[in-house]
Amino acid sequence: MKVLIVFPFSKTSTGISSYTYSIVNALKGQKKLNCEIASNFTEWETEVKKFKKLKYFKLFNFFAQLLIVVSFNNFLLKLNMFFFKINNIIISQYDYLFFTTAIPLFHIESSKNIVSVHDLMHRYEPKFKESSNYLTYNYREKLYKLIGIKSKLIIMDSILGKQQYLDSYLVDDSNKLKILPFIAPTYIYDYINSSSEIFDREEIIFYPASFWSHKNHFNLLKAFLILKQENYSLQLVLCGKKNSYRKKIEKFIIENRIDDSVKIFDYLSNSEIINFYKKSQALIMPTFFGPTNIPPIEALLLNCPIIVSNNYAMYEQFGDSAIYIDPNSVISIVNGIKLSYNFIPYNIENIKSKFSTELFSNRLLSFLKI
């Protein structure tokens, strides 16, 4: 069996890239499967034996999205055929084309397409314009409808994620939707397998999340303002690229005089992220989005207590091994942080086993009937 993973994004595309790594690692090296990658980023070339360099993706992506928005699906499929042809990709050589994130690059033969749809938050959290402005909403709606028709398999992160897709879009066969829970990035497992290093926990709350309104930084900062007034000596560590939303956050921090309690990094290396997980009192993720998220998995595997939102499939993901907070309530966030001082997760080893690379690989291979 031959599978071509189509991923025209950089290795640094945060969670999407991490997920793609997990898919590649699950497929490569399998005796009955030949795995290749097609990307316009040559940095992926080292991941598999055969790599195909994609050309002109940005230009193609613009026209493809435009065709989806105006519902010219037949023209889109013809454009896709042309795209594969100019990139010298002979579709007949492959059993499957695997798109590890939803992009408008389907082959006309739906029996070859596997697409991962990570969430439908444009529909379930429409108040956040980064995913639900008029153009983005319409594009995603039409894209996901097309995926339902033009795919052999659709991979979701959770039972809830699958149900949301079935509730939202017409699917000719519900069995084509498969559940593949997220796992941690490869570097987390590499560290666990190679190191027994122990860190002393410090009064640090760690939130490694890009600066978007749905990430809910403001309620978290308001919670820290209350904790500071109550004489807690905690420090909040954030990280993410500079953008207009981060500037608003930095202004809030200065105006409320909590700059001595909050530290923001532009970028953290893998080793630095691990160090913060190992020494922080807790990871916090008060995001409004789901259904599930990857950073709490990383923290859990490194024995860092996790504080997560009580929405969507987070309990499905972590059971009683997490502290749950209402992301809409500043007081709930405050209380969650206070609980982290003495929190003992329940059934944590069983929860950790859900995120094993072996289980992830076996599930994925079963979908391909290998």
125-182: per-residue pLDDT in tens?
A: 999 998 888 889 999 999 999 999 999 999 999 999 999 999 999 898 899 999 999 9
pLDDT above 80 for 196? no
Instruction: Indicate the CATH number for domain 2-183+356-367.
Output: 3.40.50.2000
Q: Between 63 and 305, name the one with better pLDDT.
A: 305
* pTM (2 d.p.): 0.93
Task: Name the residue with higher pLDDT: 108 or 79.
Answer: 79
Average pLDDT, the chain: 93
User: What average pLDDT does range 74-98 have in this prediction?
Assistant: 91
pLDDT at 205 over 70: yes
Classify domain 186-353 at the CATH topology level.
Rossmann fold (3.40.50)
Choose the weakest-confidence range: 56-65, 73-82, 94-103. 56-65
pLDDT tens for residues 210-233? 999 999 999 999 999 999 999 999
| pLDDT at residue 66 tops 80 | yes
Domain boundaries, the chain: 2-183+356-367, 186-353
pLDDT of residue 13: 64
pLDDT at 323: 98
**Mean pLDDT to the nearest integer, 116-131:** 94
Residue-level pLDDT at 283: 98
Q: Residue 260: pLDDT band by 50, 70, 90 thresholds?
A: very high
Dihedral over Cα of 124, 179, 25, 7: its sign: negative
Residue 113 sits at φ, ψ, to 5 deg, of: -90, 125
> What band does 359 get if pLDDT is binned at 50, 70 and 90?
very high
What average pLDDT does range 70-75 have in this prediction? 88
Q: 186-353: same fold as 2-183+356-367?
A: yes
